Structure 1
Amino acid sequence: MSPTVRVSSAGANSARWRGTATARPYVAPATVRRRRRRPTAAAEPPWRHAPPRRVAYVVPPCRRLARTVADTDIDAGGEPLDLLVWDAPNIDMTLSNVIGARPSPASRPRFDAIGRWFVAAAGDHDVEASVFTNVVPANTAQIRGWIEAIRSFGYAVFAKPKHGPDDDIDEDMLDHIAGRASGGRLTRLVVASGDGHNFRKPLEALARAGTEVVVLSFAEVAGYAQESDVLSFVDLEDVPGAFTAPLDRIRLDALPPEGAWLRPVRDLRALLG
């Protein structure tokens, strides 16, 4: 059944659905007038007037060591230069071969004694000594003290991370030597390395050009320097005070009159593999 809507004479609406209900008359809502806000200047971001922040760039330790020598303007005029370059990985390896064991603190060379020997022979020349080494990332804590001790003696240190067999420092050493030689002041060069494969030709070329070149190593491994007509050779053990005690080695260039035994450096059964 559909609802019936009746409109009264008064204009009120009424509806009937199971009874009669009277609806309230509709009243239109009053119009609300909102006040317009005065336009204000846009607020500036807080960073506009904030003082600029200074961001400090921290140079990694290895890079700082690598730039120690590069940032020094040592070739700009002045006295003749004597340069010492130390190949730490090679000296450590050849020392192990010479004594047939891993070097201990007592059998390692003393850099202070080597520095005194080097400076004493330089006279009034300018002197510079640099140690080149590799750093295995897992062993940085062990090598840090050694590096700081060397620096305290007056040596600059070039440290290069060792991730694989191609991360050698030979090219870095040769580049450093070439850079010092290009300044026209290099008169004496001491290279502590037994690596004749990489150093013989460039060192001999430098010697023929007029620079005194001395190879500082061990007689057992530095045959290239002893055979050369233009290179000088000094055995590390002949440097006064370089070792706190004589090394456990037999030198073929200093054999006793009665002869000497040279013991094997490995067990014979190791040949069976």
Structure 2
Amino acid sequence: MIKLRIGIVGFGHLGQYLYSLLESHPQFEIAFVWNRSKNVLIDRHVAPSLILDKLENIFELEVDLIVEVAHPSITKKYGQLFLEHGAYFIGSPTALADQETYDLLQKATNTQNRAVYVPSGALWGGEDIRRMALQGSLKGLTITMAKHPSSFKLTDSEGDITAITEPKVVYEGSVRQLCPLAPNNVNTMAAAAVAASNLGFDMVYGRIIADPSLLDWHVIEVEVTGPSQSDGRTFTTKTIRKNPADPGAVTGTATFGSFFSSLLNAARRHGYHPETGFILC
């Protein structure tokens, strides 16, 4: 069996989770691991032969699929470079809200004949959204995410939301504007904007709510609007997902398993038949 060579970029909780699963998986071989702080890799006993000192040195390695689980800035700086050497699995798709980054990666997927795989994360019904978008029947998409205030890592906000005592809407508007405000929190919304290709980041609507009563859960609500009939009736569907999570946790516990399932799906698709473009998995 030919093993798929995987590169891991980032070694936080999710990166460590993936490493522990991949190092003993019969279908994969770890090509490299990179982290901004090398000491973390040493402390976690990552084999020295797997540690990549600089991402610019990726050209020295053979790699089939590069998995980013670090920060959206990695895609902006290195996304094109990654696509020169393998398919790219982008764990921080909020980076794609930057139009320049999106356009450059889209061009690179065509030039290099490779794919950018986007994990569905906590998005429920992503494949249905994608199909509606391709058919042109998707007319509206709103995603509401409610978490404990300490779980939001915002780049800018009015006042200290950690001190609130009742639910507060922190933001509502386009997902494009929301992604740079909460880049670590709304990857699910970014994945939805990719799936909703006929609407995109500007026309997918996002709302985040800081709720101090949510001590055990992240709650994600997805509302889809389809076409209206001549008699005024409109297709709508709404799903609500409660993801177990502790206060202060950016990612719910169920999302880790979902992320790995998306990675397996991307690996299977890549090994079966190379694809191009942005692909929700």
Give TM-score, length-normalised by structure 2.
0.30
- Larger proportion of helix: 2
- Structure with greater Cα Rg: 1
- Larger proportion of strand: 2
Give TM-score, length-normalised by structure 1.
0.30
